[in-house]
Amino acid sequence: MSVLILAIESSCDDTSASVIQDGEVLSNCIANQEIHKLYGGVVPEAASRAHQVNIVPVVDAAIKKAGIKKENLSAIAFTRGPGLIGSLLVGVSFAKAFAMSLEIPMIEVNHMQAHILAHYAEEPKPPLPFLCLTVSGGHTQIVKVTDHLKMELLGSTIDDAAGEAFDKTGKLLGLDYPAGPLIDKYAKLGEPIFKFTEPKVGELDFSFSGLKTSILYFLRKNIKENPKFIEENLNDICASVQARIVSILLKKLKIAAQKTGIKHLAIAGGVSANSALRSGLEEMGKEMGWKTYIPRFEYCTDNAAMIAVTGYYKYLKKDFVGQDVVPVARWSV
């Protein structure tokens, strides 16, 4: 009999549901929350309220698109953490009620582990072991993946995440939230002519808060001389900031590959949608003779297909949880 799993993702500001059959993704439906644009960042209370509104229609859409009957589901997987506690609570509560009514097991999934396993939702699948640079709005990590469910954290950010560096820069530039995709778009039209210093932190760790401060001072100084500085130089500023963030990320990944001798390198998480990071990784791979794995756009940002893939591996190990499970805001890979 085939294994059919419904997966729910609700850790931040996207409500998503996916159905997977024997490891093959049948549907991946996502409802984005526009409300946060008004505030320049995710408002936790607004996010959890929007999840409550979206979750039933999104699950319904995922089941319909997959062409299955909910009575045939083998299990339900859900994001237990890390994330915003109010957002997670909606997904976890939904999963509990769904599991109870269908009398099927529940599978808890770590969101960061799932970002990495999104690579197993498509071809080519990275062989084990591989290194993954996971870059999202809340995390920046280099992870050694020795088995689908066995991961070792080699390095991480000591302050802001790479996605935050994009989003906070965007705020300084007066761009909408999330600014990452906008900076990416404007950077394509500019040149990286402004230089920002590189942070000095542990070999495989990251730091982005100093960069944010130096961008702030750089803008203040230039706006004093020319009030229209941002307007007149937006594309070049975006290209310069993006080039620095990407060079920091790739430099550390290169060190990790050289230290571990692992020649299969992947990127994951929302920032892996960045075009300069994608092309930079590809170039580095060609130059060093390493194989690189870049996820399809829909598997970069938050999605339930990655929760479904992780849920599938855990299902095979009968790694289930009970009705007493609670969401967790912090949870390492």
Any contact of residue 91 with ligand KG4 (CB under 6 A)?
A: no
**From 55-63, 121-129, 130-138, 251-259, span contacting ligand KG4 (CB under 6 A):** 130-138
Contact between residue 30 and residue 7 where contact means Cβ atoms under 8 Å apart: no
Any contact of residue 192 with ligand KG4 (CB under 6 A)?
A: no
Please state the closest distance from residue 264 (CB atom) to ligand KG4, in A.
21
Any contact of residue 280 with ligand KG4 (CB under 6 A)?
A: no
Burial 164-192 (b: 16+ CB within 10 A, else e): bbbbbbbebbebebbbbbbbbebbeebeb
Of 317, 305, 275, 326, the residue nearest 8 (C-alpha) = 305
Any contact of residue 180 with ligand KG4 (CB under 6 A)?
A: yes
Structure-block tokens of residue 265? 């390198």
Structure-block tokens of residue 202? 């542990």
Q: Which residues contact 317 (CB under 8 A, 6 or more apart)?
A: 149
Please state the closest distance from residue 90 (CB atom) to Zn ion, in A.
16
Which residue number, 9 or 27, has a Cβ lying nearer to ligand KG4? 9
Any contact of residue 163 with ligand KG4 (CB under 6 A)?
A: yes
Structure-block tokens of residue 37? 């644009």
Q: Could you identify the residue written with the tokens 């209370």?
A: 45
Strands (E), 48-139: 75-81, 106-110, 130-135
Structure-block tokens of residue 5? 């799993």
Any contact of residue 9 with ligand KG4 (CB under 6 A)?
A: no
Which residue from 273, 306, 309, 321 is in contact with ligand KG4, where contact means CB under 6 A?
Answer: 273
Q: Nearest 10 degrees: CA dihedral of 58, 62, 64, 70?
A: -100
Return the SS3 of 287. Answer: helix
Contact between residue 245 and residue 253 where contact means Cβ atoms under 8 Å apart: no
What is the C-alpha to C-alpha distance for residues 9 and 92, in angstroms, rounded to an integer? 9
**From 91-99, 118-126, 175-183, 325-333, span contacting ligand KG4 (CB under 6 A):** 175-183
Which residue number, 306 or 321, has a Cβ lying nearer to Zn ion? 306
Please state the closest distance from residue 300 (CB atom) to Zn ion, in A.
9
User: Residues binding ligand KG4: what is the number (CB under 6 A)?
Assistant: 19
Which residue number, 92 or 271, has a Cβ lying nearer to ligand KG4? 271
Any contact of residue 274 with ligand KG4 (CB under 6 A)?
A: yes
Any contact of residue 138 with ligand KG4 (CB under 6 A)?
A: yes
**From 87-95, 270-278, 285-293, 314-322, span contacting ligand KG4 (CB under 6 A):** 270-278
Which residue from 302, 309, 311, 314 is in contact with ligand KG4, where contact means CB under 6 A?
Answer: 302
Which residues contribute to the site for ligand KG4 (CB under 6 A)?
A: 12, 136-138, 163, 166-167, 178-181, 184, 269-271, 273-274, 301-302
